[in-house]
Amino acid sequence: MNIIALQTDIVWENKPANFDKVHRLLASASPTPGDLAVLPEMFATGFNMNIPAVAESHNQATELFLAQTARDYQIFLVAGLVAAGTDNKALNQAVVFTPQGDLLLRYTKIHPFSYADEDKYFAPGHELTLFNWAGFTVCPVVCYDLRFPELFRLAVCRGADLFVVVANWPKRRKLHWETLLRARAIENIACVVGVNRVGSDPNVSYSGQSQIIDPHGKILALADDQETALVAAPDLDDLKKLRERFPALRDLKPQFLGNI
């Protein structure tokens, strides 16, 4: 089974245009049934604080598009979107759809990006979510979550061995993106998929650099700063053998994770 990372140049607040981009890139990757495709954070709108313009309730346009796309290609599909919340705040989420077009899970970003005032418009999540794909236990996270290694450790303690990071990560912090993705793979002896956007929005420029990384820290597939579909097949047997041969995770002290 392949992982397909779809790095798009998101059109600001234009959902139909972004849906078309996804269809085009996904078709170019020739997915096979059961593959796992991943889209960036807020793929349909751009990283956006205009809540009335971008937030949707369950089963509105973006989720319907994702469900139909997953069903059409018979794939698992992970994507970032903005869901309506409560108390005038929205939810920055990663959702997962099955090859049957069913919503499998919904993860709410635990760490809103306070540096850009995201916390003023988006409520934080409070729980990790995991799902099974091709023998892997997958944990989706969103952008700024990447800076919090304790979140990844907690997921590993719960069985995670593949992390999917959906992001709108700015070009000016490109080095951080590249370094932290590899660090999360190496320290957790896990595969990591980081899917960023390219282009620019009214506030920020993005350099892409989406990548698929194996548990050794080796980059299996790397994008540049253009729209593209990365494809790679992670090796679950190799991951299991590495964890057995180099058993660092057995030396974890979960009690030091506290109450997170």
**Eight-state DSSP code of residue 170:** B
Q: How far apart are the first and last CA of the chain?
A: 33
- What is the percentage of the chain residues whose pLDDT exceeds 70? 99
Instruction: Say how many CA atoms lie within 13 Å of 118 toward its Cβ.
Output: 23
pLDDT surpassing 70 at residue 259: no
What tens digit of pLDDT does each residue of 172-225 get?
999 999 999 999 999 999 999 999 999 999 999 999 999 999 999 999 999 999
How many angstroms separate the CA atoms of 258 and 252, rounded?
13
Closest by CA position to 172, among listed 146, 142, 203: 203
Catalytic residues: 41, 109, 143
Task: Say which residues have a Cβ less than 8 Å from residue 175's Cβ, sequence separation at least 6.
Answer: none
pLDDT of 257 above 90: no
Contact predicate 40/166, CB 8 Å: yes
pLDDT value of residue 256: 78
Architecture in CATH for domain 3-242: 4-Layer Sandwich (3.60)
Residue in the block written with tokens 């992670």: 234
pLDDT at 54 over 60: yes
Q: What is the DSSP letter of 9?
A: B
Nearest to 227 by CA among 2, 3, 6, 4: 6
Say whether pLDDT at 146 is over 90: yes
Please state the separation of Cα 13 from the chain's center in Å. 20
Instruction: Tell whether the model's pLDDT for residue 260 goes beyond 70.
Output: no
- 3 has a pLDDT exceeding 90: yes
Condensed to tens digits (0 to 9), the pLDDT of residues 82-97 reads 999 988 899 999 999 9
Residue for token digits 């997915």? Answer: 31
